[in-house]
Copies of this chain bind each other. A is one copy, B any other.
Amino acid sequence: MREKAEIFKRRVEKFQRLLKENEIDGAVIRTLSTFIYFTGTKWLRPSLLIPAEGEPVVIVAKGEKELFMQRSWIENVKEFQKTEDLMAMVTMWIAKNGYSTIGMEFSIERDAYILFYELFKKLNPGVQIEDIRHLSMQLRMIKDDWELGNIRKAGKNAVKGMEVAMEEIKPGKSELEMAAEIYRELMLNGSEDPKVYVSATPRAHAEPFRDVRVEKGRFVTVVIGADYNHYYANLTRSFFIGEPNERAKNAIEAMEEVHKIALEKTLPGVTFSRVERDIAAVYREKGLQEYYITGYTHGVGLLIEEDPITTIVVPHRAMKAREGMALAMVHAPLMVPEGAVKKEDTVILGKKVENVTPFEASVFL
């Protein structure tokens, strides 16, 4: 992504202004998604140091510098030979510059681990640590045109994955066998870190089991998170296998209605909890409220689930939808005994709502 250097540079400058406004001397970025946001490339064990003023620094393992510099615009790249050297380099950067307040992201993702956090505190005893997750997310929540282009491509990829899913779902097949073919399809189309959940039993989020198989009289739910240039789009469909009973039919109808409400009503300026109330009303009306999980939408971008996360971060439910957001909805499944019923698309909020994962097919297999 070197050719996009200007985009990434501007992001760092905006972020530095936020650091200054919040009286934070520098940020230690260890989460992959924010690392990509600023550097333009993924890397295993992300280590990016952004001072409130001055040049950002990236630390990579011995021998990796050349490729990293081909993929990122950042020029201040250091190599470490032992893990303990990496930690020492961070500590030295803080000490040498005399920083007293350091920002770190208290995130829900890979590398935001308690171990590193506690170790950092031990190595930098005088330094105050501030959670800056909201600062990076404040920028990341609103996508620019290049990001939206990536999300559209990811959406097309997700649709291809769902087409493979429909071919694969058959009584007797295991969740894992179906997932294997979907993963392959997504990767062959350029998805570097796809997430595929397949559930033939009622599970809210289902990492596939090798010994759970498709049975008649149940739903199979396929959740696809496809990425392109590290940006995700999510697409979920539930298929009923065989002849549905009344409760299954009722659940399908309710999910269709709720999906329609979500996509029509989640417009820039509208509070998420406002739409959530309308959704709850539909479930109540249909006598399904006991199967309902709160939190109908969340952002997508460099993470499959990012701010606004009305699903698990309660205060986000009071936020307003904004232009430039990319949102997955309906995220929360209806957990009836026949399975997890869910219809989820990824939409971009512009002047209009644009569905980037259009997929129409019968839910009856």
Q: Could you list which residues of chain A lie within 8 angstroms of chain B, going by C-beta atoms?
A: 42, 44-45, 61-64, 66-67, 81-84, 104-110, 112-118, 131, 133, 176-177, 179-181, 183-184, 187-188, 190, 192-193, 201-210, 291-295, 311-312, 314, 335-337, 340
Contact A115 B118 (CB under 8 A): no
- Assembled-state Cα–Cα distance A357/B108 (Å): 34
Knowing A61-B335, A114-B117, A335-B61, the reply to whether A45 touches B133 (Cβ < 8 A) is no
Contact A187 B177 (CB under 8 A): yes
Q: Which B residues are in CB contact (< 8 Å) with A209?
A: 192
- Assembled-state Cα–Cα distance A244/B130 (Å): 50
- Among residues of B, the one whose C-beta sits closest to the C-beta of A187 is B180
- Assembled-state Cα–Cα distance A44/B206 (Å): 7
Q: Which B residues are in CB contact (< 8 Å) with A107?
A: 113-115
Contact B203 A64 (CB under 8 A): yes
Q: Which B residues are in CB contact (< 8 Å) with A183?
A: 180, 183-184, 187
Q: Which B residues are in CB contact (< 8 Å) with A201?
A: 67
Question: How many identical chains are in the complex?
Answer: 2
- Assembled-state Cα–Cα distance A352/B298 (Å): 53
**Among B42, B62, B113, B184, contact of A184 (Cβ-Cβ < 8 Å):** B184
Per CB-CB distance, the 5 closest pairs between chain A and chain B, nearest first, are A63-B335, A180-B187, A61-B204, A44-B205, A83-B312
Contact B82 A294 (CB under 8 A): yes
- Assembled-state Cα–Cα distance A344/B256 (Å): 51
**Among B109, B188, B340, contact of A63 (Cβ-Cβ < 8 Å):** B340
**Among B44, B203, B208, B293, contact of A207 (Cβ-Cβ < 8 Å):** B44
Q: Which B residues are in CB contact (< 8 Å) with A81?
A: 292-294
Contact A113 B112 (CB under 8 A): yes
Q: Which B residues are in CB contact (< 8 Å) with A109?
A: 113
**Among B110, B131, B311, contact of A110 (Cβ-Cβ < 8 Å):** B110
Nearest Cβ on chain B to A82's Cβ, whole angstroms: 5
**22 sample A-B contacts, Cβ–Cβ < 8 Å, listed by A number:** A44-B203, A61-B204, A62-B293, A63-B202, A63-B203, A67-B201, A67-B202, A82-B293, A82-B294, A82-B295, A106-B113, A106-B115, A108-B115, A110-B110, A115-B133, A117-B117, A118-B131, A176-B190, A180-B183, A180-B188, A183-B183, A192-B209
- Assembled-state Cα–Cα distance A61/B201 (Å): 13
20 extra A-B contacts, CB within 8 A, seeds A61-B205, A61-B293, A176-B188: A44-B207, A45-B205, A61-B204, A62-B291, A62-B335, A63-B291, A64-B204, A67-B202, A81-B294, A106-B114, A106-B115, A108-B115, A109-B113, A112-B114, A112-B115, A113-B113, A114-B114, A118-B131, A176-B187, A180-B184
- Among residues of B, the one whose C-beta sits closest to the C-beta of A227 is B210
